[in-house]
């Protein structure tokens, strides 16, 4: 199977995986209004994949053909489970496997997973090796991470990661402790690119952190010589951000996008999921036009 990371034209524009937000319905909507070059599932616990109660995991792994190319993102602690999960992901039709070493949420890092693995390179290495073994070269393996856990540890951490046969490393240019608050440390990304060019030129470097427009993305690409950008919260500021043709959206276009997202959500999930999670998306579309506030309030109350 071709390596999707190498097949795509550069720079690559990726949708950041965000739990509870970038589900199949949202990805389908983006595929219609401005499709990212590459999308990821919400992060999936490797142990849940093989749990007797697989309802949630089944939903997280659900996708339609219009969402391709799509990469499955995994998290957890047990290397053996990553190996078995990798084989499962190959058979499920995804285009790659991404390992989450970035999540700063307390419930995740308290277990020693997510971004906590930055301070446990021995286990992180075992997880990477197990995933590569399970993939058997059939799918590319990538990592999403940060520039440090509590403090910036760019050089030792990325020297370590670049030892492995990773197709790409996506980097949030904050520490886990900083979460998504405060300044981003983009000069660290430049250091990572230099390390990559020296140690493992084949591995692509994708960076994210406060990219709220295509203009900012272009600036970061030029400044750092990265291979692409990953956009998360910027998608909520402008759902059309991945569309290379940027035009001001009218009231009618914004309302139509909201209605289409709601329609896709209902078609995709039906009775499998309640409707109230859609409340978080209302303010994404129904804003910045006369009458937006009362319309937003009435729409929220109706969900």
**pLDDT tens-digit profile of 201-226?**
999 999 999 999 999 999 999 999 99
Give the model's confidence band at 182: pLDDT under 50 very low, under 70 low, under 90 confident, else very high.
confident
* Percent of the chain surpassing pLDDT 70: 100
Task: Answer yes or no: is pLDDT of 50 > 90.
Answer: no
Residue 247 pLDDT? 94
Give the model's confidence band at 181: pLDDT under 50 very low, under 70 low, under 90 confident, else very high.
confident
**pLDDT tens-digit profile of 235-250?**
999 999 999 999 999 9
Q: What is the mean pLDDT of the chain?
A: 95
* Percent of the chain surpassing pLDDT 90: 90
Q: How many Cα atoms within 13 Å fall on the side-chain side of residue 105?
A: 8
**Catalytic residue numbers?**
103
């Amino acid at each position: 199977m071709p390596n999707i990371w190498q097949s795509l034209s550069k720079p690559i524009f990726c949708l950041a995986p965000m739990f509870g937000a970038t589900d199949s319905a949202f990805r389908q909507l983006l595929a219609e209004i401005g499709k990212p070059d590459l999308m990821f599932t919400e992060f999936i616990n490797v142990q849940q994949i093989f749990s007797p109660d697989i309802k949630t995991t089944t939903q997280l792994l659900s996708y339609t053909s219009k969402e391709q190319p799509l990469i499955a993102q995994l998290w957890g602690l047990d290397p053996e489970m990553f190996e078995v999960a990798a084989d499962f992901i190959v058979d499920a039709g995804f285009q790659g496997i991404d390992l989450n070493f970035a999540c700063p949420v307390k419930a995740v890092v308290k277990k020693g997973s997510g971004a906590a693995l930055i301070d446990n390179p021995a286990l992180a290495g075992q997880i990477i090796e197990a995933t590569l073994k399970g993939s058997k070269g059939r799918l590319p393996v990538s990592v999403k991470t940060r520039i440090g856990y509590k403090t910036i540890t760019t050089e030792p951490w990325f020297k370590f990661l670049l030892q492995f046969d990773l197709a790409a490393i996506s980097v949030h240019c904050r520490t886990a402790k900083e979460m998504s608050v405060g300044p981003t440390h983009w000069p660290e990304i430049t250091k990572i690119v230099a390390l990559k060019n020296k140690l493992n030129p084949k591995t692509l470097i994708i960076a994210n952190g406060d990219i709220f427009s295509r203009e900012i993305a272009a600036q970061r690409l030029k400044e750092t010589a990265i291979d692409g950008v990953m956009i998360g919260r910027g998608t909520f500021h402008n759902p059309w951000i991945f569309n290379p043709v940027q035009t001001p959206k009218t009231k009618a276009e914004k309302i139509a996008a909201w209605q289409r997202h709601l329609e896709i959500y209902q078609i995709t999930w039906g009775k499998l999921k309640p409707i109230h999670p859609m409340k978080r998306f209302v303010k994404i579309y129904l804003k910045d036009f006369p009458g937006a506030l009362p319309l937003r309030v009435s729409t929220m109350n109706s969900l």
